[in-house]
Amino acid sequence: MVVRNLKDEEVLETTYLAHGGAIAQMILDRRILKEIGFLAIARLAPGRRIEPHIDPMEEIYFVMNGGGEMSVDKEAKHVVPGDAIWIPTGSRHGLVNTGYEDCVILVIASPMGKMGEVVSKTS
Protein backbone atom coordinates (compact mmCIF):
# COMPACT_ATOMS: atom_id res chain seq x y z
CA MET A 1 0.00 0.00 0.00
CA VAL A 2 1.18 3.51 -0.83
CA VAL A 3 -0.32 6.51 0.94
CA ARG A 4 0.50 10.04 -0.21
CA ASN A 5 -0.38 13.26 1.58
CA LEU A 6 -0.36 16.68 -0.09
CA LYS A 7 2.31 17.74 2.43
CA ASP A 8 4.65 14.81 1.65
CA GLU A 9 8.03 15.74 0.18
CA GLU A 10 7.37 13.40 -2.79
CA VAL A 11 4.31 15.52 -3.66
CA LEU A 12 5.77 18.96 -2.89
CA GLU A 13 8.84 18.35 -5.08
CA THR A 14 6.60 17.96 -8.13
CA THR A 15 5.08 21.46 -7.91
CA TYR A 16 4.86 23.10 -11.35
CA LEU A 17 2.90 25.69 -13.36
CA ALA A 18 0.30 23.81 -15.39
CA HIS A 19 -0.75 25.19 -18.76
CA GLY A 20 -0.04 28.81 -17.91
CA GLY A 21 -2.18 29.30 -14.83
CA ALA A 22 -2.62 26.56 -12.24
CA ILE A 23 -0.17 25.53 -9.56
CA ALA A 24 -0.17 21.74 -9.75
CA GLN A 25 1.37 18.81 -7.93
CA MET A 26 1.55 15.12 -8.74
CA ILE A 27 0.04 13.11 -5.91
CA LEU A 28 0.62 9.74 -7.57
CA ASP A 29 2.43 9.29 -10.87
CA ARG A 30 4.74 7.04 -12.88
CA ARG A 31 6.99 6.64 -9.83
CA ILE A 32 4.26 4.44 -8.29
CA LEU A 33 1.43 3.79 -10.74
CA LYS A 34 1.52 1.00 -13.26
CA GLU A 35 -1.62 1.44 -15.39
CA ILE A 36 -2.99 4.89 -14.54
CA GLY A 37 -1.09 7.91 -15.82
CA PHE A 38 -1.33 10.14 -12.76
CA LEU A 39 -3.42 11.74 -10.04
CA ALA A 40 -2.67 15.44 -9.61
CA ILE A 41 -4.11 18.38 -7.74
CA ALA A 42 -4.23 21.87 -9.25
CA ARG A 43 -5.10 25.22 -7.70
CA LEU A 44 -6.31 28.02 -9.91
CA ALA A 45 -6.52 31.50 -8.36
CA PRO A 46 -9.50 33.78 -9.10
CA GLY A 47 -9.26 35.22 -12.61
CA ARG A 48 -6.55 32.75 -13.68
CA ARG A 49 -6.93 30.16 -16.41
CA ILE A 50 -5.64 26.81 -17.49
CA GLU A 51 -4.94 27.70 -21.11
CA PRO A 52 -6.80 25.60 -23.68
CA HIS A 53 -4.57 22.68 -24.66
CA ILE A 54 -4.66 19.15 -26.01
CA ASP A 55 -3.25 16.17 -24.13
CA PRO A 56 -2.49 12.74 -25.59
CA MET A 57 -4.51 11.05 -22.85
CA GLU A 58 -7.99 10.68 -21.44
CA GLU A 59 -8.53 12.85 -18.34
CA ILE A 60 -11.07 13.56 -15.66
CA TYR A 61 -11.14 16.90 -13.86
CA PHE A 62 -12.95 16.73 -10.51
CA VAL A 63 -13.83 20.09 -8.95
CA MET A 64 -13.14 20.07 -5.19
CA ASN A 65 -13.50 23.78 -4.41
CA GLY A 66 -14.46 26.97 -6.20
CA GLY A 67 -15.61 26.77 -9.77
CA GLY A 68 -15.37 28.28 -13.18
CA GLU A 69 -15.97 27.93 -16.88
CA MET A 70 -14.78 24.60 -18.29
CA SER A 71 -14.40 24.16 -22.03
CA VAL A 72 -13.95 20.88 -23.88
CA ASP A 73 -13.67 21.29 -27.65
CA LYS A 74 -16.53 23.63 -28.67
CA GLU A 75 -18.62 23.12 -25.53
CA ALA A 76 -18.39 25.25 -22.36
CA LYS A 77 -20.15 24.84 -19.02
CA HIS A 78 -20.03 26.39 -15.57
CA VAL A 79 -18.61 23.86 -13.09
CA VAL A 80 -18.89 23.73 -9.29
CA PRO A 81 -17.63 21.52 -6.45
CA GLY A 82 -18.65 17.91 -6.98
CA ASP A 83 -18.60 18.12 -10.79
CA ALA A 84 -16.54 15.58 -12.72
CA ILE A 85 -15.62 16.49 -16.30
CA TRP A 86 -14.57 13.77 -18.74
CA ILE A 87 -12.04 14.93 -21.32
CA PRO A 88 -11.61 12.49 -24.22
CA THR A 89 -8.13 11.87 -25.61
CA GLY A 90 -7.13 14.62 -28.05
CA SER A 91 -9.83 17.10 -26.97
CA ARG A 92 -8.92 20.77 -26.59
CA HIS A 93 -9.77 21.80 -23.02
CA GLY A 94 -9.27 24.65 -20.57
CA LEU A 95 -10.65 26.11 -17.36
CA VAL A 96 -11.15 29.70 -16.21
CA ASN A 97 -11.72 30.49 -12.53
CA THR A 98 -14.66 32.90 -12.68
CA GLY A 99 -15.18 32.99 -8.91
CA TYR A 100 -13.72 34.75 -5.90
CA GLU A 101 -11.91 31.79 -4.32
CA ASP A 102 -9.33 29.28 -5.50
CA CYS A 103 -10.66 26.63 -7.84
CA VAL A 104 -9.15 23.32 -6.74
CA ILE A 105 -9.35 20.31 -9.04
CA LEU A 106 -8.14 16.76 -9.00
CA VAL A 107 -6.89 15.54 -12.36
CA ILE A 108 -6.87 11.85 -13.15
CA ALA A 109 -5.20 10.84 -16.42
CA SER A 110 -4.73 7.63 -18.32
CA PRO A 111 -2.26 7.63 -21.19
CA MET A 112 -2.98 6.00 -24.51
CA GLY A 113 -0.74 3.25 -25.72
CA LYS A 114 1.75 1.45 -23.55
CA MET A 115 0.70 1.40 -19.89
CA GLY A 116 2.92 3.30 -17.49
CA GLU A 117 4.56 5.28 -20.30
CA VAL A 118 6.02 8.61 -19.21
CA VAL A 119 3.63 11.45 -19.99
CA SER A 120 4.86 15.04 -20.27
CA LYS A 121 3.64 17.40 -17.55
CA THR A 122 4.17 20.55 -19.59
CA SER A 123 2.75 21.98 -22.75
**pLDDT tens for each residue of 20-42:** 989 999 999 888 988 889 999 99
The answer to whether position 7 is within a domain reads no
Residue 14 lies in a domain: no
Residue 12 belongs to a domain: no
Specify the number of domains making up the chain: 1
Here the CATH number for the domain that contains residue 66 is 2.60.120.10
Q: What angle do CA 117, 56, 118 make, to 5 degrees?
A: 20
**Domain membership of residue 103 as a residue range:** 21-111
Q: What is the pTM of this model?
A: 0.86
Residue 11 domain-assigned? no
Give strand ranges (E) for the chain.
Answer: 16-18, 22-28, 38-44, 49-54, 57-65, 68-72, 75-79, 84-87, 92-96, 103-111
Supply the pLDDT for residue 122.
Answer: 46
Query: Is the pLDDT at 57 greater than 70, yes or no?
Result: yes
CA distance 46 to 26: 22
Is residue 116 assigned to a domain?
no
- At 98-122, the pLDDT tens digits run 999 999 999 999 876 544 444 444 4
Please indicate, yes or no, if residue 8 is contained in any of the structural domains.
no
